[in-house]
Amino acid sequence: MNDLIQSIFGWVVESPFGQFVSAENLLLLTPEFLLLVVISVGLFQTMSDRLDDQKETWKLSVLGVFLALFSLVSIFLIVDPADGVSYLFMDSSTLMPSTLGLPVFYDMFRADLFSVTVRFFLLLGTLLVLLFSRRYIETRSSVPGEFYILMLGATLGAMLMAGANDLIMLFVALETLGISSFILAGYLRGEPKSTEASLKYLVFGGTATAVLLFGFSLLYGLSGGQTGFQEIVQGLQQANSSGLNFAVVSLMFIMILGGFAFKLSAAPFHMWTPDIYEGAPTPVTAFLSVVSKMGAFAMVIRFLFVVLSVAPAQEILMPLYMIFGVLALISMTLGNVAALKQTTIKRMLAYSTIAHVGYLFLGFLVMGVDSISSILFYLMTYVFMNLGAFAVAVQFTNETGRDDIAAYAGLVQKKPFLAFYMTFFLLSLAGIPITAGFFAKFFLFQTVAAAGSGYIWFVVIALLNSTISLYYYINVIRLMLVAEPSDTVIAMSRRVEFATALPVTLALMICFLGTLLLGVYADPLMALSRDAVSQLKVTDSQMLSQSK
């Protein structure tokens, strides 16, 4: 296998850069490099003023994301014929996770099963967003090209977040995602709401980042000046032998948690979410609520799991884990109750996102391999069901220019498939069986309830919350299926332009199949997420024992 890698990347290693990189490093980051190449080429393309050239960028971006997806899968599934070990999966003879080339660039980045899984779904999510955003952006902006490039930039940031194993790397990745998102949110320059969204996002995001950085600086000090996750743990262990100050450790934890909660839009740090989701162009809202959220969750999972849920931080912070439970309950209740009264589909989905984040936080409350892996599984299903709902919303806005819920009345009579897809995705979000959303909720709540009798109340409240959530989801379904058609729907044409509708249809099909298949047979992905999360823990202890 090494010969193969050498023959592909040998020239880089032999070049003057060779002292910084190894061939394996390059191989493991191929998807990211592919995105970089597409971004660079695309930027040249967007220099042209001609709209046709701008439109070419869409094709380039889709191709780039697709290639990145393909390379990600193929690289990590390749099995070395010599020893039968693939990069990711267990070695069949020893049943140990393969550690081939996991650390990349001096352990700044980890290409383990967890990051590869998350990166796969990030790329898939971006691909879906790109598929259904084309018509929306091209009819609203004179320079659609940059939109796609910025989206790829944001995806790159999210992908790096998924594997970041160092505070500095984490911060750089976070900012790559953040800055791209600020611009994306304000992409419709003519619309005041979009500009407002962008500015709000920038101000709020900047503040949250500052809080997060302050937490990081405390951690840096506590660990004796370390930035790598494993080094921090060791540093904390050394510092603990001479006694760690509880107040400082908790301050650090709360600062970091505040920053994270903001990024994940958990209540009470959620204020920005509805305004920005409403103001931003709908595809961007979809991107923010799925891809960006998944990247942020991956970052938080790795950080909490590798750094803070290991001794000595874990012993000190154990009593503070209840904060996750409180945030979870506030988020889900507030999100669901606020969503009841919303009149636009984007705001409703924004509040529903807050509620879903609340459910997911229950997994952090328990902080075990099972619960974290059910968070990961939930995020996977969320990619399909939420992006599906957004795809329908984008398609509806494309055809009617409206995004208020009342306009959806009677949709089934004009566009039965669109209404059917939306019904399915909303039922999945509500957690009705035979959809992915049901199993995601079930696994999550089950692991939380299994953690101890003290947690059963959280589960009961979460279940009652999902009853509340059904009210607003089913309200949309009722309007679409039951109510008499609204004027907007009556004005819709039955005819479908095949060429423009094809990408959206493709995206809808992928989302539908994903939601359905995960609802009928979730076992493989469930096992994958469990392997990924347990490997996060295993490789780490291995690394620690090696270094000792």
Partner 1 sequence: MSENFLPQNYLTCLLALPIVFALALPFLKPNEGSKNIHFYGVGASVVLFLFSSLAWLVTGRLKGDGLNLLYNSLTEVHPWFPNLGIHYAVGADGLSLTMMILTTFLLVMASVASITNIKKRVKLYYGMLFILTTAVMGVFLARDSFLFFLFYELELIPMYLLIAIWGGPNRKYASLKFVLYTLFGSVFLLAGILGLYFHISSTGGIAVQGQEFLFPIIQAHAATLAPTAQLLIFLAFFIGFGVKLPMVPFHTWLPDAHVEAPTPVSMLLAGILLKMGAYGMMRFCWEYLPEAAYELAPWVAALAVINIVYTAGVALVQKDLKKLIAYSSVSHMGFVLLGLAAMNELGFNGAVFVMFAHGIVSAALFMCVGTLYTRTHTRMIADFGGLGKQVPVIFYFFMFMSMASLGLPLLISFASETLVFYGAFLSDFFHHTIPFFGLKLFWHMRLATLLSALGIIIGAAYLLWMLKRVFFGEMPKKWNQLADASRSEVFVLATLALLVMGYGFQPALITHHFEAEVSNVARMYPMIHARKQMEASAARQIKGPKSTIKQLSSAESISGAQVEDTVEQQELVTYE
Shortest distance (Å) from residue 471 CB to partner 1 = 7
Of residues 38 and 429, the one with the C-beta less far from partner 1: 429
Q: Any contact of residue 530 with partner 1 (CB under 8 A)?
A: yes
> What are 214's strand-pairing partners?
none
Local structure of 209: helix, strand or coil: helix
Shortest distance (Å) from residue 162 CB to partner 1 = 24
Pick one of 39, 379, 526, 532: the residue that binds partner 1 (CB under 8 A). Answer: 526
Measured CA to CA, the distance from residue 343 to residue 328 in angstroms comes to 25
Of residues 55 and 414, the one with the C-beta less far from partner 1: 414
> What are 80's strand-pairing partners?
85
Q: Any contact of residue 332 with partner 1 (CB under 8 A)?
A: no
Number of residues that bind partner 1 (CB under 8 A): 29
The one-character DSSP state at 19 is G
Burial class of residue 402 in the structure, from the number of CB atoms within 10 Å of its CB (0-12 exposed, 13-18 middle, 19+ buried): middle
Site string for partner 1, 450-469 (x = CB under 8 A): x-----x--xx--xx-xx--
Q: What is the DSSP string of 226-284?
A: --BHHHHHHHHHHHHHT---HHHHHHHHHHHHHHHHHHTT-TTS-THHHHHHHHS-HHH
Closest CA to 526 of 387, 381, 364: 381
Q: For residues 473-497, b (16+ Cβ closer than 10 Å) or e, as one string?
A: bbbbbebbbebebbebbeebeeeee
Q: Are strands 79-80 and 109-110 parallel, antiparallel or unpaired?
A: unpaired
Of residues 54 and 466, the one with the C-beta less far from partner 1: 466
Pick one of 446, 500, 534, 542: the residue that binds partner 1 (CB under 8 A). Answer: 446
Report the site for partner 1 in 378-437 (rule: CB under 8 A): 427, 432-434
Q: Which two tokens stand for residue 516?
A: 């359905």
With residue 69 as reference, give the H or E element that holds it. Answer: helix 51-77
Report the site for partner 1 in 467-486 (rule: CB under 8 A): 467, 470-471, 474, 478, 481-482
Q: What is the DSSP string of 77-93?
A: H-EETTTTEESSSPPTT
Shortest distance (Å) from residue 533 CB to partner 1 = 13
What values do phi and psi take at 58, rounded to 5? -60, -45
Distance of CA 535 to the CA centre of its chain: 20
Map tokens 């439970």 to a residue. 325
Of residues 20 and 471, the one with the C-beta less far from partner 1: 471
Shortest distance (Å) from residue 526 CB to partner 1 = 6
Q: Any contact of residue 438 with partner 1 (CB under 8 A)?
A: yes
Q: Does 144 sit behind a cis peptide bond, omega within 30 degrees of 0 on the bond before it?
A: no
Shortest distance (Å) from residue 134 CB to partner 1 = 30
Of residues 78 and 474, the one with the C-beta less far from partner 1: 474
Q: Any contact of residue 3 with partner 1 (CB under 8 A)?
A: no
Report the site for partner 1 in 158-197 (rule: CB under 8 A): none
Shortest distance (Å) from residue 423 CB to partner 1 = 9
Of residues 12 and 456, the one with the C-beta less far from partner 1: 456
Of residues 322 and 463, the one with the C-beta less far from partner 1: 463
Binding site for partner 1 (CB under 8 A): 427, 432-434, 438, 443, 445-446, 449-450, 456, 459-460, 463-464, 466-467, 470-471, 474, 478, 481-482, 521-523, 526-527, 530
